Amino acid sequence: MIQSLATARGKVLIREAKPADAVQFRELRLGALQDSSIAFSADYQKNLNHPLKYWEDMLTMQPDESTIFLATREGNLIGMTGIARGSSPKTRHGAYIWGVYVEPEWRGLHIAEELITSCFAWAKAREIVLVKLGVAAVNQPAIRCYERCSFTTYGIEPRAIFYEGKYYDEYLMVVNLDDK
């Protein structure tokens, strides 16, 4: 599945990741962990030391279980997000979006929304009806983006992230795909 998004800075393609993207994906992910440390529970230093095989394995998907979408401009990765469905027969009707990130110079062009829309299409094709995510309560731009994508807050996870001596709550958000 490849989507094309016309932006003020040119055409951006949204597509599923493949193991061959591992080197660029590693750089994008590490950049995200440095740029937006509070937004991710993953740690930059820990991820920095993973071998290339780790990144290749991360991009080797089981088609009905999970995928990662990438935003590309002229072959360069500029954004990403992942989606994984519930692993139990009792939770397979739901999925979780993780790792939403767009490079700073590409923000404000609705790329994150297009990545999320791609996740919705992937989920609907697998009869997933609920999609959830968590977002740092201090990350107002991301919260607004998710609300534009029809997510609503259903709870708060107190002290979800601990970074540089400070705790950060996380809003838990959901969208019912039956309504989309």
CB neighbour list of residue 58: distance below 8 Å, 6 or more residues apart: 22, 25, 68
State the amino acid at position 102 in one-letter form: V
In tens, the pLDDT along 67-86 reads: 999 999 999 999 999 999 99
Task: State the average pLDDT for the chain.
Answer: 95
Asked if residues 115 and 28 have their Cβ atoms less than 8 Å apart, the reply is no
Beta-carbon contacts of 49 under 8 Å, excluding residues fewer than 6 positions away, are none
Q: Return the domain boundaries, the chain.
A: 2-179
Tell me the Cα Rg of the chain: 16
Pairing mode, if any, of strands 130-136 and 94-102?
parallel
pLDDT above 90: residue 63: no
User: 29 falls in which pLDDT band (50, 70, 90)?
Assistant: very high
Whether 11 has a pLDDT exceeding 80, the answer reads yes
- Band of pLDDT at residue 40, cut at 50, 70 and 90: very high
Residue 1, pLDDT > 80, answer no
- Please tell me the number of Cα atoms within 13 Å of 99 on its side-chain side: 24
- pTM, rounded to two decimals: 0.95
Q: How confident is the model over 137-151, as a mean pLDDT?
A: 97
Q: Quick one: pLDDT at residue 179?
A: 80
Percent of the chain topping pLDDT 90: 93
Nearest CA to 85 out of 97, 94, 76 is that of 94
Specify whether domain 2-179 bears CATH 3.40.630.30.
yes
